[in-house]
Amino acid sequence: MVLERRLDYDFYGHPVQIKRRARSARRSVMEAVTAVLGGGLRVGVILQGKKVRDDNKTLLQAGISHDNQLDALGFTLEPISPQSPTSLCAADSRHIPTADKPQLLPRYPSSAAIHQRNQSCSDVLPEHRVTSLGNLVDSDHDSAPSPVKTSVDKRLADSRAFVTVPEMGMQALSLLPVPQKPKRPETVQRRIRRPFSVAEVEALVQAVEKLGTGRWRDVKLRAFNNAKHRTYVDLKDKWKTLVHTARISPQQRRGEPVPQELLDRVLTAHAFWSQHQTKQQLNKQHQQQQQQPQTCLLLQ
DNA sequence: GTTAGGG
DNA sequence: CCCTAAC
């Protein structure tokens, strides 16, 4: 179910169409609601007098029986704790400057979100050197400054309002109008961009040369086990761009130049493992074709 | 949770 | 980087 389409932008400011599905819906709703309320409130859900904290838990897990009517639905509006680290890192301001007043619209609607995303709040990374061929890429200085753990226990005490809506059923609630166009859909926290250093590229190339292009989990564990901000998906993506970079003319490349020697190794490894994958697929097909007659014989 | 690709 | 269908 495609909920909406919004304009996003890639690194170079080119508009990109992104399909947003149910998984992203909750973030959007939270942003819209908080925007309407002025950005100074957080929204909690209350069912049958019990506060629903963990969205991943079922109502039953939250201690709420399901055999009752969902007529005891309510919500809380609480001020965001002033202790919450609402400050943003410098690298976070990627959005186009407008007349908006960011101070009135905190990027983080909840402290939980802050804890999830704080990792991205480190600034430009200092360059680090490769010391050995093993786990050369570490992330000690990459990891973001540890956030201040705000106590969430006093949130209930800070509640300013508690409203129940017994008349409103689930259906009506789901139809509550949501602002069609939040001022800045871009408010969805996105990981800060962290260009791969030459050292990282070196580590990636060496790992792929050894493991191939279909085991990114292992590549991550092998060469980026200490780089928390580099997921195996990131490594897969980086390899893709490396192959592309190696194929285009040096004049078209941007960013910190990658030594040609590395790019050559990229192409070599890419070619090698491509054939490797093709061979394996052929073997697979041959095995299947050879098994077919056997099963036929067995059936006869 | 991983892989693999398009966006 | 993000998003997600497939596995």
**Is residue A45 one of the residues assigned to a domain?**
yes
Answer yes or no: is pLDDT of A210 > 60. Answer: yes
Question: How distant is C1' of C5 from CA of A231, in Å?
Answer: 19
Nearest protein residue to nucleotide B1, judged by CA and C1' positions: A217
Look at residues A70, A286, A275, A79 and name the one whose alpha carbon lies nearest to residue A171.
A70
User: Measured in angstroms, what separates residue A58's CA from nucleotide B3's C1'?
Assistant: 29
Q: What tens digit of pLDDT does each residue of A254-272 get?
A: 999 999 999 999 999 999 9
Q: What's the Å distance between residue A24 CA and nucleotide B5 C1'? A: 20
Compute the distance between CA of residue A280 and CA of residue A37 in angstroms, rounded to an integer.
Answer: 57
Sign of CA dihedral A94, A99, A102, A105: negative
pLDDT beyond 80 at A226: yes
Q: Give the CA angle between residues A122, A33, A149 to the nearest 5°.
A: 35
Kindly state whether residues A32 and A170 are assigned to the same domain: yes
What's phi and psi for A43, nearest 5 deg? -110, 130
Q: Is the pLDDT of residue A252 over 90?
A: yes
Distance in Å from C1's C1' to A164's CA comes to: 41
pLDDT one-digit tens code per residue, A77-126 = 333 333 333 333 333 333 333 333 333 333 333 333 333 333 333 333 33
Q: What is the pLDDT of residue A229?
A: 97
Q: Which nucleotide is nearest to A230 (CA to C1')?
A: C1
- Would residue A62 count as lying in a domain? yes
Please indicate, yes or no, whether residues A169 and A34 belong to a single structural domain of this protein.
Answer: yes
CA of A215 to C1' of C7 (A): 14
Q: Residue A65: is its pLDDT beyond 90? A: no
Q: Are residues A106 and A227 in the same domain?
A: no
d(CA A173, CA A71): 11
Q: Which of A187, A209, A225 is the last residue of a domain?
A: A187
Of residues A144 and A18, more confidence is placed in A144
Residue A193 lies in a domain: no
> How distant is C1' of B4 from CA of A240, in Å?
11
Q: Are residues A176 and A219 in the same domain?
A: no
Position with higher pLDDT, A276 vs A253: A253
Which of these three, A160, A187, A214, is where a domain ends? A187
Q: Give the total number of structural domains in chain A.
A: 2
* Pair A165, A228 in one domain: no
- Nucleotide nearest to A196 in CA–C1' terms: C1
| A184 vs A290: which has the higher pLDDT | A290
What is the nearest nucleotide to A190, using C1' and CA?
C1
**Closest nucleotide to residue A237 (Cα to C1')?**
C1
Same domain for A290 and A159: no
| Predicted local distance difference test score (pLDDT) of residue A220 | 98
Does A10 share its domain with A136?
yes
Using CA atoms, how far apart are residues A141 and A122, in angstroms rounded to an integer? 9
A8 & A131 share domain: yes
Which nucleotide C1' is nearest A221 CA?
Answer: B2
Output A141 or A101, whichever has higher pLDDT: A141
State what percent of residues in chain A have pLDDT above 70: 31
Is pLDDT of A211 > 50? Answer: yes
Domain annotation covers residue A158 = yes
Distance, CA of A24 to C1' of B6, in Å: 18
pTM, two decimals, is 0.50
Rounded percentage of chain A residues whose pLDDT exceeds 90: 28
Q: Which nucleotide is nearest to A19 (CA to C1')?
A: C3
Final residue belonging to a domain, choices A187, A216, A233? A187
Banded pLDDT at A278 (limits 50, 70, 90): confident
User: How many Å does it take to go from CA A238 to C1' B3?
Assistant: 15
Assigned domain for A83 exists: yes
Could you tell me if A47 and A70 are in contact, meaning their C-beta atoms sit under 8 angstroms apart? yes
Element (H, E) at A46: strand A41-47
**β-bridge partners, A15:** A9
Residue A284 pLDDT grade (very low, low, confident, very high; cuts 50, 70, 90): low
Ranges A132-136, A165-169, A223-227, A253-257: which has the least confidence: A165-169
pLDDT of residue A279: 76
Domain that includes residue A62, residue range? 4-187
Strand B, nucleotides covered by protein (CB < 7 Å): 1-7
If asked whether residues A37 and A125 sit together in one domain, one would say: yes
Q: Taking all atoms of strand B, which protein residues have CB closer than 7 Å?
A: A 10, 16-19, 213-218, 232-233, 236-237
- What pLDDT shows up at residue A186? 64
Q: State the angle between helix axes of A216-223 and A232-247 in degrees (0 to 180), rounded to the nearest 10.
A: 100
- Of all nucleotides in the shown strands, which has a C1' nearest the CA of A16? B7
Q: Is A281 helix (H, G, I), strand (E, B) or coil?
A: helix
Is residue A31 within 8 Å of A61, Cβ to Cβ?
A: no
Cα end-to-end distance, chain A, whole Å: 47
Tell whether A154 and A228 lie within a shared domain: no
Residue A258 and residue A207 share a domain: yes
Question: CA angle at residue A162 from A29 to A149, to 5 degrees?
Answer: 65
Q: Does residue A282 have a pLDDT over 50?
A: yes
Mean pLDDT of chain A, nearest integer: 57
Domain check: are A206 and A74 in the same one? no
Q: Is residue A161 a contact partner of residue A248, using CB atoms and an 8 Å limit?
A: no
CATH code for position A253: 1.10.246.220
Q: Which residues contact A51 (CB under 8 A, 6 or more apart)?
A: A44, A45, A76, A156
Question: What pLDDT sits at residue A208?
Answer: 98
A192 domain-assigned = no
Which nucleotides of strand C are protein-proximal, with an atom < 7 A from a CB? 1-5
* A259 located within any domain: yes
Distance A23 CA to C3 C1' (A): 10
Closest residue, by C-alpha, to the C1' of B2 = A217
